Structure 1
């Protein structure tokens, strides 16, 4: 259990974190972690789904859940004085779901999958992950597939819950106007029925593949393109330099991609970069959404900027601006009890180094221009990245990709 006191606030955010996500699934289980997350809201032995919703509404708070590649979290945010009423509900949902209305919720998730299939701006990132980590769980979408969800049985979902929602695989995290001792007492009392057995969760080591081109022809108004490549693990000491690089390249309004593609030329509404870390690997990416008329030129600019950031010296003022942006975003985000709960809960669950704000700022300040350039050469060169694309014409996609990587376009 982990808590963080935030003086001066009147809220408490509390989450039950479980160390299971899509990365722990076999192909025949694709999406079951996410489906189980839905079933947590479908009632307990003492509360119907409607009563759960009414209870949290009466508290004036919010309750939700999320599933990632390597975690599931059930969380709520309420007034500090209502924690004693909220935590029993949260604990009941996490450890005693009755799987009521499974067939009805199956249809809800199938609709969610259909909505996902209709949203290329969401799906394109999963296609990029599939290209970077082929034929492995790390490359599959968290939401799963209609084939698996359409056939999963109640017994399978119950077994999955029993095997993964165990005490050694769970972390309770709270942040806000709260005392550690109070949360500890509530957790020990309310979660005492959680199995003490170790979780069944095991994931296969990450194995990035060779650069690949994944093209999905679909009748869309825009072409959606995502470059992806292997990145740093979440505890890699260079991750702070990677954050600076991401900020310079496409992670802010003054970034090179935003300025060159959108502001100066008007070639796209949405363009940017990102980086994510896992236990043993990571992924970097660049996303672009644009019309066919602008696709080729936009890809040329992205390719040129990716090469330039690894070849030319990084100006001191640009480095300074990126560091200040990161520090400001970090400090402003920490004003939220939910953000702080997410930070500490995810870190403890995933065994990520948990640094103070001052320690993070110090490490960001220590990043040099040479650090940024070295990472750009290692992970962000377009010739070493895969490309995923969704759009009406495969030929138009391949023609544009040639500006990023001639080898991929020709493959």
Structure 2
């Protein structure tokens, strides 16, 4: 039977919800497949490309996929790729992925499209690899779907983007295994940046390690305050994430803006005012506050060139999890970013189907985690 791929329409919402239920049961944490109002908004959104697959003459949907875009950041995110269990094995996931990427890149407004991919089975990784996506890293315990799951980061680029990357002169030594893994997996060359050692702890921290952290979840207020304090888009670069929470110590030394997703048990730290390095010494109480709010996984995104910000998060137990080459365009050049993550749950990779493209990242993560949490004891002569 012929399958037709076409843009999603508002009248498809009920069938789309049924499709995501058939694929994920009640465990799908993304509003795109569960919230009718949000689904209708995205279907009507000119910055979202949403495609469905349907058998000709049949009433039930066979598949769905969408790319949400951030025109200002020139980045898209592929989300909601789902194929009905009865239709798997026929290449429909690959067809949907190819079609939605072609639509998104055809606008000329995107430099890259990324996806976070489940690693419970090898199939999704193969679909993205066959469609020109490159593996960029692993995020352990990143989401609550049918239990706690790890995700992989993949990205596909517009022509010529990777050739216009800006070189970085120095990186923290702790990032070297991750950059080596990226070179092995993608062939992207990071050159030979100078390796810097972590600085000694500062004597005058902006907030004591034991300072309590105030967490405010008022989405409207948080967004207004966020834009007031960080009017420059470059200071709040975290594409396709909008803060709904702000965390601050009682003395107001900094304000950390986050996208807290209780359904997925995850949190993205989007930006810190006055700078990412301002949270040095206060990330432990910040993590405690986020954990109490229901997030077992926390991630942040920093420029590869921001050694001060990277050092602050590395010192607080964040692990370099993924590197996104050419993520942000400034003028005619592209700048690399690093995703760092921390989880409060025990990490278990036994159920993960890690493909060959992801193996270097798994080894790099284990190396970084071991050096952070299992330091070698000093041996007296």
Is the shorter-chain TM-score for this pair beyond 0.5, marking a shared fold?
no
Task: Choose between structure 1 and 2 for higher RCO, CA contacts under 8 A separated by at least 6 residues.
Answer: 1
Question: Quick check: which one's helix share is greater?
Answer: 1
The alignment's TM-score, normalised by the length of structure 1, stands at 0.28
* Larger-Rg structure: 1
- TM-score for both structures, normalised by structure 2: 0.29
